[in-house]
Structure 1
Amino acid sequence: MPMFNAGVKKKLEAGETVFGSFFKFDSPPLVELFGLAGFDFIIVDGEHSCFTHASIENLIRTCELVGMSSVIRTPDAAETNILHALDSGASGIQVPSLKSAAEVEDVICKAKYWPLGERGSARGCRAAAYGQSGPDYEERANRDTLVSVHIENKEMVDEVEALCEIEHLDVLFIGTGDLSQSLGHPGNAQHPDVVAAVDRVIEVAAGRKHIGAVAVNAEQLESYVARGVKYIAWKSDLTMIRAMLKAAAENFTPYRGG
């Protein structure tokens, strides 16, 4: 059997909503806490955080210990980054910075084995139980590996119809931070242009692809669930820990000099 946890993809295919978080700290104990708290998955942020291939593999391994899926946001669409993540046993990949359906099709090709793609074949990797996964490993990996791509610029919003036609693409993940910048309103996810772009993605993709997004408060979470967004990242480990520490430090304020 492959060693990766395919729980999130199977839940999505069963019509369930899954809940995760972006993960920015190189900390296996923190991964354990997320899993024990009941998160379905984490998105290890290989684009904006500091990880080695080895540290990512250890985070993936820890996810499996607590029954949680591991999705790796790769730094880019380079074949080596996709291959390292999947050979390490990741449940899936989430690829940023794409600008066309053709680039997404290339990601699929890099993430899937023959006959679906051209992923480098080496059964002596962790995902294939170091060569002990059985003769149907590639078929099962093709079936169970999640592929998510970011919709985070105006070009990808314009391509959403074509993206919905791409076979073996599982999740369209709306990234409002970069999208706001691409539309000329950096940091303003509530600008009408950004809201309209998000609405277009959801309206076009609903019922055709799984839609992903970040929820930063209960109201946004409720709205996304009501609109059919089923792959939801609740903030990040960094934002949650930062808020917790600031709240803790407020207890000291009355006792500080000055």
Structure 2
Amino acid sequence: MPLRLNPPIRAALATATRPLFGIWVCSGSPVVAEICAGSGLDWILIDMEHGPNSLPSVLAQLQAVSAYPVAAVVRVPSTDAVVIKQVLDLGAQTLIVPMISSAAEAQAAVAAAHYPPRGGRGIGSALARSARWNRVEGYPTDAHEHVSLIVQIETAAGVAASAEIAAVDGVDGVLVGPSDLAASLGRPGEQAHPEVVAAALSVVATARAAGVAVGVNAFDPTVADVYLEAGASFMLVGADVTLLAQGSDALAARYLDTPDAAGAAGPAILET
């Protein structure tokens, strides 16, 4: 039986003729995930680090988006090998692992995402959606073909080690997180500060030099254009919860005469 799941984002990046644009799904809602999957954007990110997501809710969202031609990505909370194994068994084919600040941490993430001999992922394909409950012939041998791993650099230490991180075998992409990076540089909430942008751009350059796909989380279109010009190959440009917050604020401002409603104007900043 062929593997009929959303393809890993690695495949889309390999054939893309333009940057790929995605949206955060932080609400934990399968309905919202399906709405976002049908938007025409290239990929969606189901967030377990900050979103109210458990294994059952991630499964429901993966199932909800599986009918759409969109790459489904799950951000796990950490490099915890048990969580990574469970999320992969749910059928996630692309993972983002946050707060990677060294090559050793990147290597741990790679090991958690792959079966032996490459890594230490526990084999339970007969029990898991990832292999369609053992209906996908040869899955334990070929699973590496169906898994993409993106590591998130979002600290000053990670920026300094970005060349070593990008060089780790099994790292398919690097995502820069400007919010935590700004805090790490002593500028919390200042994602567009020149120092933060410069640090992010240095990661973009390093990853590109290593031949690794690199992306940035950038909700401000002006800053996003800077990263795109520098060669970012994928980007997160919005989130379900911020779109809902902005939309409801705009309604309040329009109909309740509250022009100063919080968030009614200006670009949203997602704290990631």
TM-score higher than 0.5 here? Answer: yes
Which residue of the partner structure matches residue 158 of structure 2? 156
Structure 2 distance, partners of 1:54, 1:167, is: 31
Which residue of the partner structure matches residue 236 of structure 1? 239
Q: C-alpha offsets along residues 95-127 of structure 1, whole Å, 9 cap, x if unaligned?
A: 112221111101101101223222111112001
Which residue of the partner structure matches residue 61 of structure 1? 63
Match of 1:142 among 141, 144, 154: 144
5 Å-filtered alignment, 1:72-91, equals 72-91=74-93
Structure 2 distance, partners of 1:97, 1:166, is: 16
Structure 1 distance, partners of 2:133, 2:90, is: 10
| Of 53-62 and 206-215, the range deviating more from structure 2 | 206-215
Structure 1 distance, partners of 2:118, 2:184, is: 32
Normalising by the residue count of structure 1, what TM-score does the alignment of the two structures yield? 0.92
Q: C-alpha offsets along residues 191-242 of structure 1, whole Å, 9 cap, x if unaligned?
A: 3331221121112111521111112133333332222111211121111111
Structure 2 distance, partners of 1:7, 1:83, is: 16
Q: Is this contact kept in 1: 2:191–2:197, CA < 8 A?
A: yes
| Of 122-131 and 137-146, the range deviating more from structure 2 | 137-146
Normalising by the residue count of structure 2, what TM-score does the alignment of the two structures yield? 0.88
| Of 15-24 and 86-95, the range deviating more from structure 2 | 15-24
Match of 1:133 among 132, 136, 145: 136
Q: C-alpha offsets along residues 66-88 of structure 1, whole Å, 9 cap, x if unaligned?
A: 23222111111101111111110
> RMSD over aligned Cα, in angstroms?
1.7
Which residue of the partner structure matches residue 10 of structure 2? 9
| Of 171-180 and 13-22, the range deviating more from structure 2 | 13-22
Match of 2:22 among 17, 20, 23: 20
| Greater relative contact order structure (CA < 8 Å, 6+ sep) | 1
Q: Give the count of matched residue pairs.
A: 254
Q: What one-letter code is carried by the residue in structure 1 that aligns with 2:67?
A: L
State the shift of 1:29 in Å: 1.6
State the shift of 1:190 in Å: 2.7
